[in-house]
Structures are given as C-alpha cells and as structure tokens.
Amino acid sequence: MRKDKALLLKLARSDRSGLNPDELKRSDELRKTEISRPLVMVNSSTSGIVAGSLLTWKAVESYAADRSIELDLTETGSIGLSSEDPVVSVQIPGRTRIFFSRITEGRVPSLLDDLFHQVVPDGNVIGQLLREGQEPWENVPALADLPFFALQNRIVMESCGIIDPFSLEEYMAGGGYGAFIRTIRSYTFSEVCELVTASGLRGRSGGGFSTGEKWKAAFRTPSDQKYLICNAEESDPGAFMDRTLMEGNPFQLLEGISIAAYAIGSNRAYIYIRSEYKDAIRRINNAIKELREIGLLGDNILDSGYNLQISLRKGPGAFVCGEETALIASLEGKRGMPSSKPPYPTTSGYLGRPTVVNNVETLSNLPGIIRKGPEWFRSIGTEESPGTKIFSISGRVALSGLVEVPMGTSFDTIINKIIGGAGRGRELKALHLGGPSGCMVPLDLMDLPVSYEALKEKGLIMGSGGVLVMDDRTCVVNTVRFFMYYLNKQSCGKCIPCREGTRRMAEILASITRKPADEEGSTTLERFKGVMQLESLAEVMKDTSLCGLGQNAPNPVVSTLKYFRHEYEEHIFERRCPSNTCTELRTWYIDVDLCTGCTVCAKKCPADAIIGTARHPYFIVQEKCIGCGICYDVCKFSAVYYK
C-alpha cells in the first residue's frame, strides 16, 4: 500500500493543534485511538515467541476464520512484562485496549468470546490503557496505576508493546520522525552536538561517557568520510534492553541513528547486531525498507541536501565483539579482537575514518531529546546522570522483564516495589548488576540511588543495566565461579592477564566449591592461599589488560570478597555452602536401614568411595567422596542422603 507521504510528514511535524478535522481523523485511525473493527495485538517479540505467541497468533486467526469475524491482527513488541508472556491486548471499537497475561493458544477462544460479548474474562487481566474518547472497562485497573508501571517513567519504552513495530504510519502519526525532520531542517551539525551535550545524555552501554562530547570529537576530526555505528551486539548475558527496544520500536532507533549520523556529519551508518536477534533483524530490515520508500533515508532527504544510508550487519554474537574496537574490526571483516586506544574510533575507526559507536538505548533517547528539548531531559534523573535507565531484571524474582526508571531511583524501588521482590515467599539475598563482569550488590545497599556517580562512589558499575536477582537459595561463590568460567571462554586471548587470569580465577573458585579431589590437591591452606591470590590477580588483570573485558573481569570476585567474604570463609574453612547450593560440598551418607546392598551406587561412584558387601548396607568413605551426588540420583531405595 502506498503511503500518503505529505500527510505523514505533516502528522510527524505538527502537534495536533495544527491538523484539520480530516487529518485529525486519519491520525486517530493510524494511532488506533479510533478503530472500526476489533483489534487483537499479540506480543511477537522474542519473549513472546518463547512463551508460545506464534501459536496464540494462529489461534486468533482460526477463531476469526471459524466464526467469520472480521478483525485486525497485528504484532507488537513487549510492554516489559516478559514473565507474563504471551501478552495479548484486545481493543474493540469505542473501548479502551485491555492487556492480558499468559494467553496461550487454548485461552484464545474464551478470551475473545467474552470480550466480543462486552464481558471482561476472569483472570489473566493485566490492565487497560486509558485513552481520551474511549470508554473504559469497569473493574479493570488502569495500566498506569499498577505498581509495575506507576513507579516507572517510560520515555524510551513509551510505545513498546503499544504500537505495531512494522507500521511507519503509526509511528509517524504519533509524532515519530518529527525530531529528525526538525534536525535536518532547523539545525546545523554542531548545533545538534551542542544540544545533546546540553541534555547531559551519557552512553547507556555502561561507561556513561558524554554522548555529545563523543560526537564533537568525531565531528571536529577532518575527513572525507565519517561513520556512525549503532552497537546492537548486546553481549552481556542477562541483558535484553536493546533487543526489546529494537523489537518494540525500531523506527525510534532508526530516527535516533539518523539524528546522530547527521550531528557528526556522516552519511553512512551501520547497525551491528548479533545474528541470533532474528526478530529484531526482521523488524529493522522492514523499517529501513519503509524509510527508504518514503524518502526518509537515501539521497537528498526531504530536499535538505542531506544523504544517509543505514545498513544492517550481523555479528557472530561474541561478548568481546561488543567492545567498540573489536566491533569495528569485525565490521571490517577481520577477527573481532580489541585494539589499544588511542587512537579512539572518533579519530580513527571504521576503515581508519572518524567513527562514533553508540549503544541502542543511547540512540533511542535522541528523538525525545530533540522533540522536547535538553531542559526537559535534564529535569529527569540526577544532576550528573540525567534521563532514565532501562534495567533488564531476571533471576529469582516475582516478575521478570524490563523496567525504565529515572536515574537515581533506588534498588529497593526497582526490585521490591516495581518487580515485587524475590517472589514465592523467598528472601532476597543479593543483586548482580552489569552482566558477568559486573558487581554483586549486597542488601545493605538497596537504598542506594542508582546513578553513574552513586555507584562509582561504592566501587560498583552499572554496566548496560542487566540485573540478576538472587534469593536465599543462591550461592554467591558458585555464581562468581560461573561468571569467571564464562569470561574465560569469551576472552579473545590476546592478553595473558585476561586469558590466564580468568582461567586461574575460575580454577580457584572451583576448588572452593567442591571437596578436595585428592590430599595434595586442595587442602584448606591451599584453598585459602588461592583466595589470597584472587585479590592480587584482580589487581594485575585490572591494570594490565588491554580492553574492558579483562579490566572488568575481576569485578564479581572483588565485589563478593568485599561484601560476602564470610561465604568464602565458610566454603574454605568449614567446607560448607551456607545456601546448600554447592552440591559438591555436601557430605553424603547411606542410611543403613534403607540400603538393600543392591550395589548400584558403588558401581556408579566415579571416586570408588562406596564400599560394602552385596546384600548388606554399603557406606561412603568420606575422604574419597568428591560430592558429585551420583549415588543419590541412582539409589532406588532413597537410602542416600546428605547434610
């Protein structure tokens, strides 16, 4: 369908007071505030698909076909409540849209039967999206009043899960692309750099570097060609902010990239995305195509004389490829290995030209900043960290998903008030912030306002905003052991301190979380010496590694030694895991009354630690037992137990 370009540009540019009645009507139709037939929207982003939304989609299609009901069925991104997927929202003409949780295929017929008879079904209701001119449903809470939404300030995620990510018309009818049009028509390159510097926006990938200052460095470097790269590698396990933004509102990201490219005087931008992000790739490819068709990408955009091409490049999905110099090498077709800085990419980056690398969330903030001004942005968050931050929350929590809060909001508000705490009646134990090379945060810091400056003061880092929540069943030492193992596998191997340091740290941690394999191997003294070594190793790795991977790798160790030292000591001196998670530290016994002497455990024990005579009770030689628990798994008489 051809788009009405003139109308869309007008809708994007003007506030609603500048529209005539026909344009207002069309705008309402495109924004779906006014609809003529029922609308069903299914969250088909990754979190939705994992929960079964493709089957839900088919069930809606069959429902409509079987009953000859005419309805519109569209995709959305996630509203942030990933644990409630598949989330489905339904709007019938004249009424507000209601959101439902966990609508698997079998629930579709009864849900739609009820709603089409103007009845709100029992259960599964999340809330309704109140909009002017639409009749609200009785006894359905407003989305905005739910604790999950009420304490957030969604400026970047405002439209995620609400709009159709495949519809440029819907984005533009809500004012989308107005900021880019204003940028190329009203500002010079350096004015945009100044405006973003004045907003105080800091890079959301973790370092918190001033976005405007970074742009200025690239803008001031003379070159016949400059590049803007959107870093959509999102390599931190547990982080899914960038993916959700790309899946929920790809046009906002592309508008942000266009503004950033213009500001640094570049006509060439790349989105470097991990290849596993198939649904984000699908949406971005569609968005690029739509923007080219309407003339918002390409040559001489809107007769401004400004040209811009944006291309998508798939990366292998390696942690180190998220580091900007490794990313640039990968984009150039080389092996994704970091190189030393300076020169910084802003001076010599992609193909040796000035290059700005910015994160997805950073870039997605730009349309709002241009539309509403730097003062508006500065009025949110803290003095030194203006704006909001999106956190992806997973682990042992009541709700998992994405939360966008003003910088300076406390962990307590994010985890206890918005997410509902550990859930299932469990006690919170700690938070791990910032991915595998992030820091463990103890509960006494729950009141800390989360901003770059407040975290730095406590020796913590925000990272890209992944938060892993741990309850009383989690062992911090074992968790850190896993992170070290992961980082060792992800190290590109260029620097010895990173490559060997992460391996040694993982080995030391493993020796603490299991029983001695042999008498020489890991005595208490050896294990204790290992822990002493951890601290000096951490110093060396921090000081001598080339890139952030090796420099930050010791963070989990350093922060847990600082805040959870007692757990290390219990593992070392008492050979006990306080949360009973380290199975290899358990002491295993055989109950003589239950043991039939069937010999199965003795045959399976990898350490030959079980001895006895057939048809008489067997027993475990503790000195030999490595605590693997295989005897427990294989015993059919429940004779094996542990303490």
Ligand X SMILES: Cc1cc2nc3c(=O)[nH]c(=O)nc-3n(C[C@H](O)[C@H](O)[C@H](O)COP(=O)(O)O)c2cc1C
Stretch that binds ligand X, among 42-50, 320-328, 475-483, 619-627 (CB under 6 A): 320-328
Q: How far apart are CA 453 and CA 11, in angstroms?
A: 40
Stretch that binds ligand X, among 27-35, 198-206, 263-271, 445-453 (CB under 6 A): 198-206
Residue 279, contacted partner among ligand SF4, ligand X, none, CB below 5-8 A by kind: none
The torsion angle over the Cα atoms of residues 184, 193, 13 and 229, rounded to 10 degrees, is 80
Q: Which residue, 73 or 607, has its beta carbon nearer to ligand SF4?
A: 607
Residue 216 as a binder of ligand X (CB under 6 A): the answer is no
Residue 164 as a binder of ligand X (CB under 6 A): the answer is no
Tell me which of 357, 477, 506, 601 binds ligand X, using CB under 6 A.
357
* CA neighbor of 200 nearest in space, from 404, 452, 403, 450: 452
Residue 287, contacted partner among ligand SF4, ligand X, none, CB below 5-8 A by kind: none
CB of residue 573 to ligand SF4, shortest distance in Å: 21
DSSP-derived letter for residue 431 is E
Q: CB atoms < 10 A from the CB of 311, how many?
A: 10
Q: Which residues are CB-contacts of 235 (< 8 A; sequence separation ≥ 6)? A: 274, 317, 318, 319, 320, 321, 322
Q: How far apart are CA 197 and CA 211, in angstroms?
A: 7
Residue 212 as a binder of ligand X (CB under 6 A): the answer is no
| Secondary structure in 3-state letters for 144-213 | HHCHHHHCCCCCCCCCCCCCCCCCHHHHHHCCCCHHHHHHHHHCCHHHHHHHHHHHCCECCCCCCCEHHH
Tell me which of 86, 175, 200, 203 binds ligand X, using CB under 6 A.
203
Q: Which residue, 287 or 320, has its beta carbon nearer to ligand X?
A: 320
Residue 320 as a binder of ligand X (CB under 6 A): the answer is yes
The CA–CA distances, whole Å, from 207 to 62, 199, 211 equal 49, 17, 11
Residue 205, contacted partner among ligand X, ligand SF4, none, CB below 5-8 A by kind: ligand X
Tell me which of 44, 235, 491, 555 binds ligand X, using CB under 6 A.
235
- Exposed, middle or buried: residue 182 (CB in 10 Å: 0-12, 13-18, 19+)? middle
Residue 234 as a binder of ligand X (CB under 6 A): the answer is yes
Residue 204 as a binder of ligand X (CB under 6 A): the answer is yes
CB of residue 309 to ligand X, shortest distance in Å: 21
Strand-strand pairing, 439-442 and 355-359: unpaired
Interacting residues with ligand SF4 (CB under 6 A): 320, 338, 491-495, 498-499, 545-547, 549-550, 588, 605, 607, 609-610, 620, 625-631
Stretch that binds ligand X, among 85-93, 300-308, 315-323, 370-378 (CB under 6 A): 315-323
- Residues from 530 through 549 that contact ligand X (CB under 6 A): 547-549
Residue 359 as a binder of ligand X (CB under 6 A): the answer is yes
- Judged by DSSP in three states, 74 sits in strand
Question: Taking a C-beta distance cutoff of 8 angstroms, is the pair 165, 42 a contact?
Answer: no
CB of residue 641 to ligand SF4, shortest distance in Å: 11
Q: CB atoms < 10 A from the CB of 1, how many?
A: 4
Output the CA angle 589-593-594, nearest 5 degrees: 75
Residue 362, contacted partner among ligand SF4, ligand X, none, CB below 5-8 A by kind: ligand X
Binding site for ligand X (CB under 6 A): 203-205, 207, 209, 231, 233-235, 319-320, 322-324, 357-359, 362, 547-549
